[in-house]
Structure 1
Amino acid sequence: MLINHQHKNYESFGFRFKGEHQKKIVGIHSIGWEEVTSPSYDWDGLKRSEVGKCVFQYTLSGQGMIQVGPKEYSLSAGQAFLVKIPSKHRYFFPTNSERWEFIHITLYGNEAQKTFDFINENIGYIITFSPESEPIKLLLKIFESAVDQKITDAYQASAFGYSFLMELNRFVQNIGSPAEKWPESISKAVLFAQKHYNNPIGLDDMVEASGLSKYHFTRLFHGTISMTPLKYLTKIRMDKAIELLRQSDLPIEEIASQVGYSNGNYFSKVFHKKVGMTPGQFRQSKYTVPVNHIVID
Structure 2
Amino acid sequence: MLKTHYGFRYKDPDDSLMVIRGIGWESTSNEDYRWDGWTRGDKFVAFQYTLSGEGHLIYDGKHYAVPPGHGFFVRIPDRHCYYYQSDSRTPWEFVFLTAEGSHVFSYWNEIVEKNGPVVALDPSSKPIAMLLEMMRGADDRTLTDKYEISVRLYEWIVSCLRALEGKREIERSVPDAVEKARAFMESRYHLPLTLEDIAAAAGASKYHFCRQYVKYAGMTPVQHLSRIRIAEASRMLRETNASIASIAVAAGFDNGSYFGKVFRKLTGISPQQYRDGSDGSPAKPIFVE
Shorter-chain TM range is 0.5 to 0.7
Within 2, Cα distance between the matches of 1:185 and 1:35? 22
Residue-by-residue CA offset, 1:154-186 (whole Å, 9 max, x unaligned)? 122212211111111111224379784113752
Name the structure 2 match of 1:153: 145
Does the C-alpha gap of structure 1 residues 114 and 123 become closer, same or farther in structure 2, counting only changes over 3 Å? Answer: same
Name the structure 1 match of 2:103: 111
Name the structure 2 match of 1:15: 8
Secondary structure of 1:165's partner? Answer: helix
The 5 Å alignment of 1:53-132 reads: 53-97=44-88, 98-132=90-124
Does the C-alpha gap of structure 1 residues 19 and 166 become closer, same or farther in structure 2, counting only changes over 3 Å? Answer: farther
Q: Does 2:127 align with 1:135?
A: yes
Question: Displacement, 1:110?
Answer: 3.0
Bigger relative contact order, structure 1 or 2, given CA contacts below 8 A and separation 6+?
A: 2
Name the structure 2 match of 1:242: none
Within 1, Cα distance between the matches of 2:142 and 2:225? 26
- Tell me if the contact between 1:62 and 1:76 (Cα under 8 Å) persists in the aligned partners: yes
Task: Name structure 1 gaps, 5 residues minimum.
Answer: 1-5, 193-204, 219-228, 238-297
The structure 1 segments of at least 4 consecutive aligned residues displaced by more than 6 Å after TM superposition are: 176-179, 187-190
Q: Does 2:156 align with 1:164?
A: yes
- Tell me if the contact between 2:115 and 2:169 (Cα under 8 Å) persists in the aligned partners: no
TM-score by length of 2: 0.60
Question: Displacement, 1:26?
Answer: 1.0
Q: CA RMSD in A?
A: 3.6
Aligned residues: 200
Residue-by-residue CA offset, 1:244-290 (whole Å, 9 max, x unaligned)? xxxxxxxxxxxxxxxxxxxxxxxxxxxxxxxxxxxxxxxxxxxxxxx
TM-score by length of 1: 0.59
Within 2, Cα distance between the matches of 1:45 and 1:172? 24
Secondary structure of 1:39's partner? Answer: coil
Q: Does 2:220 align with 1:183?
A: yes
Within 2, Cα distance between the matches of 1:145 and 1:187? 28
Within 1, Cα distance between the matches of 2:86 and 2:30? 8
- Tell me if the contact between 1:61 and 1:188 (Cα under 8 Å) persists in the aligned partners: no
- Tell me if the contact between 2:119 and 2:169 (Cα under 8 Å) persists in the aligned partners: no
Task: Name structure 2 gaps, 5 residues minimum.
Answer: 171-213, 231-244, 269-289
